[in-house]
Amino acid sequence: MSYEHPGKPRHEQVSDWLRNQIEEGALAENQKLPSESALGSRFGVSRITVRRALQTLESEDLIYRRQGLGSFVQDRRLRQGLIRLTDFIEDMQMAGLRPASRVLHSAEEEAPSHVAHRLGLAIGSPVLRLDRLRLGNGDPIAMDRTWLPLNYASLLAAHDLEDDTIFSILEREYGICVCRGRFRIESVNAPNDVAQFIDVPWGRALLLIERTSFAEGDRPIYYQQRWYRSDRVAYEIELRRRDNTPPGAPLPLAEFEPVFKRS
């Protein structure tokens, strides 16, 4: 049986069908997917095309693959990265702190290479750089540096980014879903242009969280660096082992939450 859709690559047809099966629960967590040969026969495509579709789903954390065993449905909680894709205001409110922001810089610039790579742009493409100081109960908690392609930045121009967030503006005003985020967390020494705003000495250890956020269709919305004061925030993680967890599979992520410390 062929699932052709004019204009759509064949590997996307396969990944779209599998993604729909997973989302609707037709394929359960840790259930084995149909074999590559079965999928190839079903869609009338080669194994190379099937493998490309599976690579797409694996990159989305929808499936995991085991050498010699096949592909399996990932624990769906893992798809959410930090469990919930939240913005700064939501994090502060859940911690019982009063959130506030102060815009430090907002101007168009040429995208440096690391920004262009994450936004899928050519190096030097025009982007908006937005720097904001983040406060909890009036005290500095973090500083953000966010780069946005101009098509998304233009939607924010008329909005107050000290009292509102990119998440809520795009979703509330324009119906643009911030659907997925890719994170990297590491410890860094405070750069001078960050330390001076969050009231720590230059070189103090900070928690840097890099995030690329995506709309539907995996369109990058923004790339952000957020430097948290290490004396004000930590992350706690909980993993749960289950009897049906396959050998070598990552343990289901139950909780990964920021813990904010009051001054």
The pLDDT, as a whole number, for residue 78 is 31
Question: In Å, how far from its chain's centre is CA 14?
Answer: 24
Task: Tell me the HSE value of 61 on the side-chain side, using a 13 A CA sphere.
Answer: 15
The pLDDT, as a whole number, for residue 90 is 73
Q: How far apart are CA 109 and CA 44, in angstroms?
A: 47
The pLDDT, as a whole number, for residue 234 is 77
Q: pTM for the full model?
A: 0.63
Which part of the chain is CATH 3.40.1410.10?
88-240+243-260
Q: Going residue by residue through the chain (263 aa), what tens digit of pLDDT does each one get? A: 344 555 678 999 999 999 989 888 888 888 999 999 999 999 999 999 999 999 888 877 788 888 788 999 876 533 333 445 567 777 777 777 788 999 999 999 999 999 999 999 999 999 999 999 999 889 999 999 999 999 999 999 999 999 888 988 999 999 998 888 888 889 999 999 999 999 999 999 999 999 999 998 889 999 999 999 988 887 777 666 665 656 666 655 556 666 766 55
Which part of the chain is CATH 1.10.10.10?
10-74
Which CATH class, in words, describes the domain spanning 10-74? mainly alpha
b/e per residue, 20-57, with b = 16+ CB within 10 A?
A: eebeeeebebbeebbebeebbeebebeeebbbbbbebb
Can you say whether residue 261 is alpha, beta or left, with left for phi > 0 and alpha for psi between -120 and 50 degrees? beta
Number of other CB atoms surrounding residue 208 within 10 Å: 19
CATH 3.90.1150.10 fits 88-240+243-260, yes or no: no
Q: How far apart are CA 225 and CA 4, in angstroms?
A: 41
Q: How far apart are CA 83 and CA 250, in angstroms?
A: 15
